Structures are given as C-alpha cells and as structure tokens.
Structure 1
Amino acid sequence: MTTIDLNADLGESTAGNPVADDAAMIGLISSANVACGFHAGDPHGIATTLASAAERGAVVGAHVGYNDKAGFGRRFIDYAPAELADEITYQIGALDALARANGTKVSYVKPHGALYNTIVRNEEHAQAVIDGVRAFADLPLMLLPGGVAVDLAEKAGLRVVREAFADRAYNPDGTLVSRREAGAVLTDPEAVAARVLQVATSGAVTARHGSVLEVDAESVCVHGDSPGAVELTRAVVERLGAEGVKIEGFL
C-alpha cells in the first residue's frame, strides 16, 4: 500500500487566541509540528496541543524558528550563527520538556517560516540549525528538498525527511512562492487534495507555469492557520482514502 505522512503546523495560539483548530487537525494528520514559543505559542497553549497529540497518537516535531512573534517568524533575522544554534537547541529542549510532561516526546525537528526558507540557500544559518539539532543526535530534520540545508544535514549524519506542501504554490526552481504574492496559498480543497495525491503517488508537484518538480517527499504539510484548514485537510484525507493511500507517520 502507498503511504504518506501528513503534517501540520500547530501550537501557535498565544494568550488564548487560537490561530488554528489544533484538536480537529490532530484528528486528521499523522505528525504535528508544534511551535516552541519563539515565532508563536505560549507554554499552556503548547501543552494543550501536545496533550491532544499524545491522546491521538500523532508524532510530535519541534517547529523551531526565529525569535519573532511580532512577525510570526516570517521575517529574516541576521543572527550570528552561534546565537542561532543555541536558540534552536533551547527551543527543542523546552518543547521536549512540555511534551514529556504531557505523555509524548519530540521526535523530529522542522524549521518554521523565514528560517525554513532561508536555509534553502543560506549556508551559515543552515549550519547553525544543524548544530542546534545535533545536541539531540537522533532527531530527524524535516526540510525542503534541494536546499543547501539538506546537503549539510546529511553530511552531518542527520536523517533528512524531505517535505512537500499541500497548500503552497511552488516556483519552477522548487522554492515556495512568497506569501507576499497573490496565489501563494492554495485554498481550493479539490486542488489541495489533488496535490497531495500527486506527491504520494508520483513523488512530484506541479509548479507555476505547469512545470513538474520531482520532490520525492516523505511528508506533506498542511498549514493549520490557512483559511479553511480543517476542511482542506479533511478533503485530503478523503481523497487519499478513496485512492487507497494510507496516511502514516514517517518514523
């Protein structure tokens, strides 16, 4: 049977203000990328999401990012590499402490937002992320295929989990279309479901202007804070089920 991991960015509520229906999303996905409090999230809200993940059996990943709540982690910050590495380690450790207190643990790491996109090309920040993760040597790193971070992580002996996106438009070079551009976020449930099915069955995505990119992804991301995220994800689950594709964690 064909299988694919389905992940979502969650735990991003702050001061009781939700940006996603985490409980509903966790009921549909296999892996939860949980915010660590730097780009979003507070300890109590994060703990609530972790408890839900433990109850539903979703694998937990540390969704590490730049220290930028005001910008939701979507702005580049020109860190010194050593400082960034320490902040990555700090975020993983904090999330793992909350996870263990709520019946689960951190099992992988995924960079968020601007950090995720920056380390596709920025070698210094990519190496800083890898250095921060290596304090937890057994943790896989979820990354966009084709970037410099993939090469550096594999050279460092880390397992890389290549990821595709259900609800984001792609440029022909394999990067994600900037959220500042129209059409960067896909909102049609049928189109999103078709994208995930394409990844699961052919290892490819269709980019802007019709070019087909090989991504060979083990996991596909749906954003919990996207418009109609629960409906989009449910459409994905139903389409995959109808086509005989099983949603299953990559671990």
Structure 2
Amino acid sequence: MGLDLNSDLGEGFGAWSMGDDAAMLDIVTSANIACGFHAGDPAIMRRTCSLAVEKGVRIGAHIGYRDLAGFGRRALAVAPAELRDETLYQLGALDGFARAAGDRVRYVKPHGALYHAAAAQPALADAVLAAMREYDPALALLGPAGTHLQESAALTGIRYVSEGFADRAYTATGGLAPRDTPGAVLDSDTALAQAVTLAETGTARIAGGTVTVSPDSICVHGDTPDAVRMAQRIRTALEDAGIAVASFT
C-alpha cells in the first residue's frame, strides 16, 4: 500500500516569503510549485525546482488565476479560452525551470479558487485539460475525486490522481469547508488524525459521520501554521502504519 504526500510550495514573491520550502522538500514526495500567477516569481521557481530535483521530489505545476494580490483565492470570471492559454503559459514557464534543474513537470494541480471552480464547472475543467493535452499528454492531473476535473481527464485520456487534505475540514458533500468557516483549517493533532484516517479508510470525519475522499495523494499546505512539523508527523505516522510514502509519478 502506498500514498503520495504533496505540498504547495514556491509561494513567495520578491522579498515576500511563505513557509519553509527547503524543510518541506525533505518530507514530501511531490511539490506543487507556484507558476507566477497566484504566487512565485522566476527566481523562486528556479530555486524551488532545483531543491526539488536535488531532494528527489517530483515537480507539479501549481497553476492558478492571475491574482497575486488575492493569492489566487478569489473567484474570477475567466473565459475558458483564456484559462486554457493561461494554463499553457504557466506550464511552460515552470517546465523551463524544471528542465534547467534536470527534471520536468510531471503533473498539474490547480490552486485555490481555480481548484474549486474547475472542479464544479465543466467548461473550466475542459480548458485546463485542453492545455495539458496540448503541452504533454503524459502529464497527470491532481485534484478532488468525483468532480468535473476527473470526468474531463477521463475523456481527454489524462491520468487523474485523487487528492485528500490533511489540514482542511470537509463538508458533507465531500468538498472543503470555506477558509472563512470556523475550524476550516485543522490544527496539527487533528490534521495528523485525519491524514491517517484518509490513508487507512479513504474517508474523512465530518459532523454526524464520514465522507468518502479516497485519496491517492494527501496534501499538507505549506502556509498552514506549523506545516513542517505537521508534515513530518504525518509522514512518520503513515510509515508506522505500514503505508509506503512515495510519489505517484
């Protein structure tokens, strides 16, 4: 039994930094690296890709809306054709730095508002998948199970990898609780318990029961408080439970 552990990294910009990417890259097996739209800049993209290759961590393009001020977490009205082109643009940008470091982008994960919008809207899901197929049909897509992203990936012939979140609370419909909801971001102990439950049963606990998530990869956000310690505790707990932690690509 194996499971991937991923984190959103490279999310600083200029003099502004977020999280300890180097420490997280000692723990996770896949790195979702910001491509300059919601966060990241050329120097950060280069540095994060180089560290990931050095540490044997797989590189994913963490694509987002063009929204540095809102960190890509604001809902924007972006036409599908524009989203297709912006996805392709971000993919190419990050892949250049990945190749300069000696590897390549192996998968795509939408960020923030785009993650939720593309999961819910077929036209946006199709736009993301169209760009991926144009760039490299061998890419995988990391996202929530049972959504339009998964349906579009199946129709496009792109491998889909289902994701669960250690540090976020779930709703009864299987989505993530909005960040402005009390308790939406879990503390370290609760996140640890949720990660183990996700890995062992494929479910997350919610008020009054459980919800099916069935993840192939578990995410620990790099900007979550105490993220490095949380990720290390999760990895140790998974391995102690006999679950091999390894990348899906």
TM-score > 0.5 by shorter chain: yes
SS in 2 for 1:27: coil
CA-to-partner distance for each residue in 1:27-51, whole Å, 9 max, x for gaps? 0000000000000011101111111
Per-residue deviation at 1:242?
Answer: 2.0
Give, in whole Å, the separation in 2 of the partners of 1:219 and 1:140. 12
Provide the residue aligned with 2:146 in structure 1.
146
Q: CA RMSD in A?
A: 1.0
- 1:58-97 counterparts in 2 under 5 A? 58-97=57-96
Of residues 213, 217, 231 in structure 2, which corresponds to 1:233?
Answer: 231
CA-to-partner distance for each residue in 1:4-30, whole Å, 9 max, x for gaps? 100000011111321110000000000
Check conservation: 1:172, 1:213, Cα contact below 8 A: yes
Provide the residue aligned with 1:120 in structure 2.
119
Check conservation: 1:165, 1:221, Cα contact below 8 A: yes
Check conservation: 1:121, 1:148, Cα contact below 8 A: yes
Of residues 199, 215, 218 in structure 2, which corresponds to 1:217?
Answer: 215
Give, in whole Å, the separation in 1 of the partners of 2:47 and 2:89. 20
Give, in whole Å, the separation in 2 of the partners of 1:210 and 1:196. 19
CA-to-partner distance for each residue in 1:162-213, whole Å, 9 max, x for gaps? 00001001000011100111111112x2221221111211122113x13212
Give, in whole Å, the separation in 2 of the partners of 1:196 and 1:97. 33
Give, in whole Å, the separation in 2 of the partners of 1:242 and 1:194. 13
Give, in whole Å, the separation in 1 of the partners of 2:141 and 2:236. 28
Identify unmatched segments of 5+ residues in structure 1.
none
Provide the residue aligned with 2:103 in structure 1.
104
Aligned residues: 248
SS in 1 for 2:162: strand
Check conservation: 1:12, 1:34, Cα contact below 8 A: yes
Provide the residue aligned with 2:11 in structure 1.
12
Give, in whole Å, the separation in 2 of the partners of 1:174 and 1:247. 24
Identify unmatched segments of 5+ residues in structure 2.
none
Q: TM-score, with normalisation over the residues of structure 1?
A: 0.96
Check conservation: 1:146, 1:174, Cα contact below 8 A: no
Aligned-pair identity in percent equals 44
SS in 2 for 1:119: helix
